[in-house]
């Protein structure tokens, strides 16, 4: 007697069972569909979890970063910068994407190697507003009578600006509660004349302070 290969298969294949369940109405069919959906979701979750991190984040943006450690008060040059790609979701708010927007600007705070350059790292309206909490504040460069005083100042310190000249003023205080934005670095040693301190003051005081600091020597008292 001839026995075919089909006849020797005693147990149905899983696909045959699934096909039978899908063609059966009622509770068995519903349970089969639920199991198929559950297994499909588990497999899909496993595939997504095993994908490399780079495959999950495909959107990237080129941002300007520090090529080496930069100190506060220094003027940024082309050699100080690099452009590197970062995942778009990891780019900080206010990050600059053009070298031209950074070169020639003064740093308001130190920057570490590889750190993205944001608008508040540079002396300007964004940094002044964030440091003082006053969006209308203005930054004024002031040359102190005693350059050594500049070594005591750091960004964020609040000071009062006092006139030391011969002007007979009823009140020698030119500005109160000014905020130090940056202390300009110099090529010479500490204490060399010519260092500038950038101070943020109320806008209505900015013009008066700038003019007075050119006419007479000034200093600051720390709060």
Q: Which two tokens stand for residue 198?
A: 């950038």
Same structural domain for residues 100 and 116?
yes
How many Cβ atoms sit within 10 Å of the Cβ of residue 131? 21
Same structural domain for residues 184 and 202?
yes
Same structural domain for residues 114 and 174?
no
Q: Is 46 part of any domain? A: no
Same structural domain for residues 109 and 144?
no
Q: Is 212 part of any domain? A: yes
With contact defined as beta carbons under 8 Å apart, do 98 and 108 qualify? no
Same structural domain for residues 190 and 134?
yes
Q: Is 154 part of any domain? A: yes
pLDDT tens for each residue of the chain, 223 residues long: 454 555 455 566 666 665 665 565 555 656 666 666 677 777 777 776 776 655 455 688 899 999 999 998 889 999 999 999 999 888 999 999 999 999 999 998 899 999 999 999 999 999 988 888 888 899 999 988 887 888 889 888 999 999 886 555 557 888 999 999 988 865 544 444 557 899 999 888 899 899 888 888 888 999 8
DSSP lists the bridge partners of residue 199 as 140, 180
C-alpha 75 chain-centroid distance: 19
In terms of Cα–Cα distance, which of 186, 208, 205 is closest to 196?
186
**Res 212: pLDDT:** 86
**Res 134: pLDDT:** 86
Last residue of a domain, one of 87, 121, 155: 121
Rounded Cα distance between 176 and 96, Å, is: 33
**Domain span at 114:** 60-121
**Res 132: pLDDT:** 85
| Cβ neighbourhood burial of 141 (10 Å; 0-12, 13-18, 19+) | middle
**What is the length of the chain?**
223
**Res 189: pLDDT:** 44
Q: Is 151 part of any domain? A: yes
Same structural domain for residues 72 and 114?
yes
With contact defined as beta carbons under 8 Å apart, do 143 and 152 qualify? no
Rounded Cα distance between 206 and 211, Å, is: 9
H or E segment and range at residue 130: helix 125-132
In terms of Cα–Cα distance, which of 12, 113, 98, 21 is closest to 62?
98
């Amino acid at each position: 007697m001839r026995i075919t290969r089909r006849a020797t298969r005693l147990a149905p294949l899983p696909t045959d069972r699934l096909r039978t369940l899908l063609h059966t109405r009622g509770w068995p069919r519903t349970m089969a569909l639920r199991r198929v959906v559950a297994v499909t979701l588990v497999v899909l979750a496993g595939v997504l979890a095993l994908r490399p991190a780079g495959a999950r984040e495909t959107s990237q943006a080129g941002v300007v970063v520090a090529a080496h450690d930069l100190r506060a008060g220094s003027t940024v040059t082309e050699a100080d910068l690099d452009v590197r790609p970062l995942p778009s979701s990891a780019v900080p708010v206010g990050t600059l994407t053009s070298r031209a927007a950074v070169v020639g600007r003064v740093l308001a705070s130190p920057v570490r190697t590889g750190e993205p350059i944001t608008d508040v790292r540079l002396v300007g309206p964004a940094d002044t507003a964030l440091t003082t909490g006053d969006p209308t504040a203005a930054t004024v460069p002031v040359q102190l009578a005693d350059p050594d005083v500049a070594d005591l100042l750091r960004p964020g310190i609040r000071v009062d600006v006092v006139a030391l000249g011969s002007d007979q003023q009823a009140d020698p205080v030119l500005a109160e509660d000014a905020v130090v934005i940056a202390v300009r670095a110099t090529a010479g040693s500490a204490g060399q004349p010519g260092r500038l301190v950038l101070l943020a003051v109320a806008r209505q005081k900015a013009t008066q302070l700038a003019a007075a600091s050119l006419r007479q020597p000034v200093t600051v008292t720390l709060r």
